[in-house]
Amino acid sequence: MEKLLEVEHLTKTFTLGSVISRVRITAVDDISFYIKPAEIFALAGESGCGKSTTARIIMGFEHATSGTIIHSGKKEAKNEKVWFTEGIQAIFQDPFATFNPLRMVEQYFFETIQNYKLAKSKREAIERIDAKLRLVGLTYEDLAGKYPSEFSGGQLQRISIARALLTDPQLIIADEPVSMVDASLRMSIVNLFKQLRDELGVSVLYITHDLATAYYVCDRIAIMFRGKIVEMGTVEQVLMAPKHPYTQLLRASIPEADTAHRWQGEIRLSDTEQDEYLRQGCRFAGRCPMVMDVCRRVTPPQFDVDGALVACHLYAETKQ
């Protein structure tokens, strides 16, 4: 099977606190996944689950403590801050922070073209910019001479995608791309991802906490909890028939815009996050309704359950 990006045993630890009381937090704990060409892959979970750290490592803004990242068969070169920005581009959460508010938006487009030598003349550059902007439903005229504050959040996010497309990347990393965009405009962004996948064969690593849009737009999904991938498979498998108790809780907690499906029953919340990071064994054990003895001692490995990977001792009987 062809793989565009492979992440193997990625681990990232941060050290918090002073010299006296040092706490090591494993933000990303030995995770492995891959992304196929022309696929939208979701890395989903709550804040602090390590999904954004993973994205930052892949983008090269952060160094992994251990583990490898392989892009189109090439390994990450060490000591190189940006190792393959031509093939991998990114868009960010806050469209208003993506561009410097004191600079005109088009400058980023011209600079990308200049830095990667994508055009020979100014006219050619504008043609290329215009072509990419048309993919997201805008034109160069909409952009020329304007500052970020003159656009709406949804427009800026589309402009951001167009900028990412300038280098013809095979993979776009989208870190919470719609969480700060108005609900009524979200679909226009996620539909773009579908369109890019289907028409240009671009893969998207979709980092999100929003499982509903993930279900709508993604092919496969990995659910992260406190640095670990607890469940991974197709969105149908993971979201329509969740197997890990955490995924089940997450799935049940999503407020559905349907008055027939109001929340039932009460839930338990964790009081502090650090405890769960430092916990031995399964990190969900403290809140899991089906907790067993083994959960508190042994970190569960990933079991293959009907094609999906589930890291939970409940599925230990099935073949590994």
The contacts of residue 204 (CB under 8 Å, 6+ apart) are 39, 40, 41, 171, 172, 173, 174, 193, 196, 197
Is residue 112 a contact point for another protein (CB under 8 A)?
A: yes
Interface residue with another protein among 16, 23, 66, 107 (CB under 8 A) is: 107
Count residues near another protein (CB under 8 A): 73
For the record, the structure tokens of 70 come out as: 């392989």
For residues 219 and 189, give the distance between their C-alpha atoms in angstroms, rounded to a whole number. Answer: 16
Q: What is the DSSP string of 253-290?
A: HS--S-GGG---S-----S-SHHHHH-SS-TTTTT-TT
Residue window 225-254: x/- pattern of binding to another protein, with contact defined by CB under 8 A: --------------xx--------xxx-xx
Local structure of residue 218 (DSSP, 8 states)? -
> Least distance from C-beta 208 to another protein, angstroms?
11
Interface residue with another protein among 52, 53, 160, 247 (CB under 8 A) is: 160
Is residue 284 a contact point for another protein (CB under 8 A)?
A: no
With b for 16 or more beta-carbon neighbours within 10 A and e for fewer, the 248-268 pattern comes to: bbbbeeeeeeeeeeeeeeeee
Tokens 């359950």: give the residue: 305
Is residue 121 a contact point for another protein (CB under 8 A)?
A: no
Determine the distance from the C-alpha atom of residue 42 to the mean position of all C-alpha atoms in its chain, rounded to a whole number.
Answer: 6
Is residue 134 a contact point for another protein (CB under 8 A)?
A: no
Is residue 103 a contact point for another protein (CB under 8 A)?
A: yes
Is residue 289 a contact point for another protein (CB under 8 A)?
A: no
Interface region with another protein, contact rule CB under 8 A, candidates 8-16, 62-70, 146-154, 296-304: 146-154
For residues 205 and 56, give the distance between their C-alpha atoms in angstroms, rounded to a whole number. Answer: 12
Q: For another protein, which is the closer residue by CB, 88 or 303? A: 88
Is residue 279 a contact point for another protein (CB under 8 A)?
A: no
State which of positions 9-68 bind another protein (CB under 8 A).
46-47, 59, 61
State which of positions 182-201 bind another protein (CB under 8 A).
182-191
Interface residue with another protein among 149, 198, 290, 301 (CB under 8 A) is: 149
State which of positions 72-101 bind another protein (CB under 8 A).
81-82, 85, 89-90, 92-94, 97-101
Q: For another protein, which is the closer residue by CB, 250 or 303? A: 250
Q: For another protein, which is the closer residue by CB, 74 or 263? A: 263
The contacts of residue 202 (CB under 8 Å, 6+ apart) are 38, 165, 169, 170, 171, 172, 196
Q: For another protein, which is the closer residue by CB, 272 or 320? A: 272
Q: For another protein, which is the closer residue by CB, 150 or 304? A: 150
For residues 121 and 96, give the distance between their C-alpha atoms in angstroms, rounded to a whole number. Answer: 30
Tokens 């496969």: give the residue: 220
Q: For another protein, which is the closer residue by CB, 35 or 217? A: 217
Interface residue with another protein among 38, 70, 212, 291 (CB under 8 A) is: 212
User: What is the CA angle 115-121-123, rounded to 5?
Assistant: 115
Q: For another protein, which is the closer residue by CB, 158 or 303? A: 158
Interface residue with another protein among 127, 150, 198, 306 (CB under 8 A) is: 150
Q: What is the DSSP string of 155-213?
A: HHHHHHHHHHHTT--SEEEEESTTTTS-HHHHHHHHHHHHHIIIII--EEEEEES-HHH
